[in-house]
């Protein structure tokens, strides 16, 4: 993911979180879970960490929203690095992908944050 795109997604993510707190509607959160993960083979000195996600947004009035995954990246040539990557969830099953260099690995990963959504009216 290019640095420019990553910055734009992060800023959008932060604006969404901040703006969502000012609304008068009741807020819900979708349930986001990681079903499986996989590291690809090395191609052009890069490889991809891919996760299959399950999103239950039955309580949300929207069909998509923002969430972030946290990572601790290990590297043969650099210090360990903790970082987050923003993504857009869609209800149901979906895949997300993060690019790493060939000499990097994922030590840990977690769901770092899930933005609130307007609740579905009953």
Averages of pLDDT over each 10 residues, the chain, 122 residues: 55 52 73 96 96 96 95 95 97 96 96 94 74
Check residue 35 and give its pLDDT. 96
Residue tagged 């891919």 (tokens): 50
The whole-number pLDDT of residue 49 equals 98
> What is the fold of 3-118?
Immunoglobulin-like (2.60.40)
pLDDT at 26: 80
Cβ partners under 8 Å of residue 105, min gap 6:
39, 73, 74, 75
Write down the pTM of the prediction: 0.76
* Cα(80)–Cα(92) distance, integer angstroms: 33
pLDDT at 24: 61
pLDDT of residue 121: 81
Q: Which string of DSSP letters, residue by residue, matches the chain?
A: --HHHHHHHHHHHHHHHHHHTT-SS-EE--EEEEEEEEEPPPBTTEEEEEEEEEEE-TTBSSSEEEEEEEEEEEESSS--EEEEEEEEEESEEEEEEEEEETTEEEEEEEEEEE--EEBPP-
Structural domain spans, the chain = 3-118
What does the pLDDT read at residue 10? Answer: 56
- 28: burial class by Cβ within 10 Å (0-12, 13-18, 19+)? middle
């Amino acid at each position: 993911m290019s640095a420019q795109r990553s910055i734009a997604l992060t800023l959008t993510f932060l604006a969404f979180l901040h703006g969502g707190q000012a609304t008068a509607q009741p807020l819900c959160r979708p349930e986001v879970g990681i079903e499986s993960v996989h590291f690809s083979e090395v191609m052009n000195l890069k490889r991809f960490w891919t996760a299959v996600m399950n999103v239950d947004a039955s309580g949300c009035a929207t069909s998509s929203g923002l969430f972030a995954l946290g990572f601790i990246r290990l590297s043969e040539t650099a210090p360990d690095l903790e970082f987050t990557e923003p993504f857009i969830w869609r209800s149901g099953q979906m895949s997300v992908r993060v690019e790493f260099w060939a000499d990097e690995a994922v030590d840990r990963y977690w769901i770092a944050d899930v933005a609130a959504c307007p609740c579905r009216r009953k």
